[in-house]
Amino acid sequence: MADNRRWWALVVIALAQLMVVLDMTIVNIALPSAQVALQMSDGNRQWVITAYTLAFGGLLLLGGRIADLAGRRVAFMTGLVGFAAASALGGAAVNQGMLFGARALQGVFAALLAPAALSLLATTFTDPKERGKAFGIFGAIIGAGAAVGLLAGGFLTQYLDWRWCLYVNVPIALVAFAGAWALLPGGGRHPDARLDVPGALLGSAGMLSLVYGFSEAESRGWTDGLVLTLLIGGVVLLGLFGYWQTRAQVPLLPMTVVRDRQRVGAFLTVLLVTVGMFGVFLFLTYYMQRVLGYSPVKTGVAYLPITVGMVTGSTQVAARLLHRVPPRVLMVPGLLLAAGALALIAQVGVEPAYASHILPGMLMLGLGMGTAMMTSVSLATGNVAPRDSGAASATFNTAQQVGGSIGTALLNTIAASVTTRYATAHAASVPDKALLAAKAAVHGFNVATWWAMAALLLGALIAGVVVNADRAPTPQAPQERTPEPVDSAT
């Protein structure tokens, strides 16, 4: 592919990935309005988020293998069309069941789209210098997409309608589809491969069980029978999945993907980064809207420093140094900087603290996570045989999605329990109920943020010990890409 076509292809791939990442957070700000409009109960409103994460997190491995079997371009374009249709269905929802179903469909097609996008990127840019730039842009999209989603959600909800938080995906998907049709190369299909049906069932069921268990833990508690059954069952199913993968003739997740030390380090690092990141995003949103009284738009604008930091860390730090220094030299300092940011944010009180704590904390958090995330993306997808690039990409996305689910559920549970204990212990000393509620909520937020910081420190430790490569690897292409048959969508 000509150089300029490659970079235009990157725009298409990044646009699709931005849409998927945006959708993880854009609906959060619209949720209160959607709840009122569709008359959802407080108990049911969580399914607007959970239906998406369940389908997305549970089907990613299957989606990655389908991309390898059907062809990455076909999978990418199919995912775009399906995601757009599901988004339009959700925007037109007339009741909560219709919205929940549409969100689940979005997750299904996102599970097909996300690994196809990442594997297309990995096999399109193989030159180390170009690869660094491409992954810098892609890493910035992944890291900043959540914050941009909150910004867009605020504007769309406040000035248009909550439904536009779903409708907005339709034009984005159509533009990306047209670009994919014109720019992306065919190929990537491997006729000698077969779909591992038992592995697909075990892996998907295990992931669905884990994600569902973590999502229910927030409302039911960690000792609830259903939550424990789901979590234990998920671990057992994934254990059986791992055993089957060592025996399957054509495994869904080739053992070469998870036997590589560098790749395992990247997967674990991404999981722990998202454990901290997604939970803190939720707490910051609550702090700014409920404690500081920010509007949805003002809250979204307040998140811009994270976006600036992530773009800078990905494109100006990691992309420039990735193939000049060992990966852990970027990952460890990046994670330590992000952990320091959370230590600063965890000290806020009920009085306004945006300029003194939140703003510098966001800049540090974005810079550190952007640097670490972009490096992890390159490690996770480098040195993978083209026929397994979809599986490697899906595993990376799975680590990210499961980390977000764990972080949201775990940190919310910690925050809720600490808030309740604080309110009970200080009821007599703080007679103003509104002030007591604010103090208790902020204290719960602070304690949970310290736990998020611990997750980032653990990620830094793993990156420093496990990742020991002298330089980030590059794919085994292009010699394996040349003889690949062109798929029917070419």
CA–CA gap between residue 13 and residue 9 (Å, rounded): 6
Per the document, the length of the chain is 490
302, two tokens: 């307040």
Residue 486 pLDDT grade (very low, low, confident, very high; cuts 50, 70, 90):
very low
CA–CA gap between residue 197 and residue 67 (Å, rounded): 15
Residue 483 pLDDT grade (very low, low, confident, very high; cuts 50, 70, 90):
very low
User: Which stretches of 222-323 are DSSP H helices?
Assistant: 225-245, 255-259, 261-286, 296-302, 304-312, 319-321
Give the residue, 456 or 14, on which the prediction is more confident.
Answer: 456
245, two tokens: 């993968």
Instruction: Give DSSP secondary structure letters for 72-94.
Output: HHHHHHHHHHHHHHHHHHHHT-S
Under 8 Å between Cβ of 48 and 34: yes
Q: Is the pLDDT of residue 484 over 50?
A: no
Q: Is 139 helix (H, G, I), strand (E, B) or coil?
A: helix
Evaluate the omega torsion of the peptide bond into residue 478 and state whether it is cis, within 30 degrees of 0: yes
The Cα diameter of the chain in Å comes to 76
What pLDDT is stored for residue 191 in this prediction?
56
Q: Give me the mean pLDDT over the 138-149 stretch.
A: 66
Q: Is the pLDDT of residue 480 over 50?
A: no
What pLDDT is stored for residue 450 in this prediction?
93
Mention every residue, 6+ apart, whose C-beta is less than 8 A from residue 293: none
Residue with tokens 């491995």: 61
Per-residue DSSP letter, 347 = T
Q: Give me the mean pLDDT over the 399-405 stretch.
A: 75
Residue 147 pLDDT grade (very low, low, confident, very high; cuts 50, 70, 90):
low
CA–CA gap between residue 138 and residue 116 (Å, rounded): 14
Q: Give me the mean pLDDT over the 301-312 stretch.
A: 84
User: Which stretches of 163-196 are DSSP H helices?
Assistant: 164-167, 169-183
CA–CA gap between residue 312 and residue 318 (Å, rounded): 9
